[in-house]
Structure 1
């Protein structure tokens, strides 16, 4: 057996991806970032109702995995904007397709917004 990084259950690509983003909150945070949210309070105000401790943990995990970057915008008290890295932005087509799949198969789910479906990963990167 190959020597595995302790953060991954196996070297299967799907398994490693799920180890990084397969919890119930990470893709929702990335979805929010794709829709323009950048601040901690913005993520807390999403309709799914993420708790503060889970949000802090997931933001840290996403940053540790190189999917987002934390940029300070205020020093006292410390406050940050959260932005997608190229690695994080490249998840956009995946979540676009998941949204379309769910809309097709989950009765009552609404269609993803047009601006979300027409966005490209390049559109999400800091300039």
Structure 2
């Protein structure tokens, strides 16, 4: 997958180069709750394909937003977690959540809902 860039010497453009692809900030939202296995991320991001999730995680890792870590036995699982740079996106995600709160209303019949989307670090 070729990498797209705005090719602008602008902090907003550079930030969007790093996290502006579809699903990237939702992955960050999930990781703000703590380290997660790939399967858990996939389960809590309904609608994302496995190819796109893998590509976004790889891109976020290359940007220094996400780190992959192997848990010690008996878990022996690989988890993804935010780096310090990634945790710096907390205020951005919280601001987007606050901005979008007025538009929620009642869930549509086709919309997925997860309880942790309404608790924890991104609730305003």
TM over 0.5: yes
RMSD across aligned positions (CA)? 2.7
Normalising by structure 1, we get a TM-score of 0.74
Higher relative contact order (CA 8 A, sep 6+): 2
Deviation at 1:10, TM superposition (A): 1.1
Given the two structures, how large is their TM-score scaled by the length of structure 2?
A: 0.76
Worse-superposed segment, 53-62 or 7-16: 7-16
- 1:38/1:81 contact within 8 Å kept: yes
Aligned to 1:91: 89
Alignment check: 8 A CA contact 1:44 1:52 kept:
yes
1:62 aligns with 2:60: yes
Summarize the Cα distance change of 1:102–1:118 in structure 2 as closer, same or farther, 3 Å threshold.
closer
Provide runs of 4+ in structure 1 moved above 3 Å: 105-110
42-51 vs 13-22, which moves further: 42-51
Separation in 2, partners of 1:74, 1:59: 21
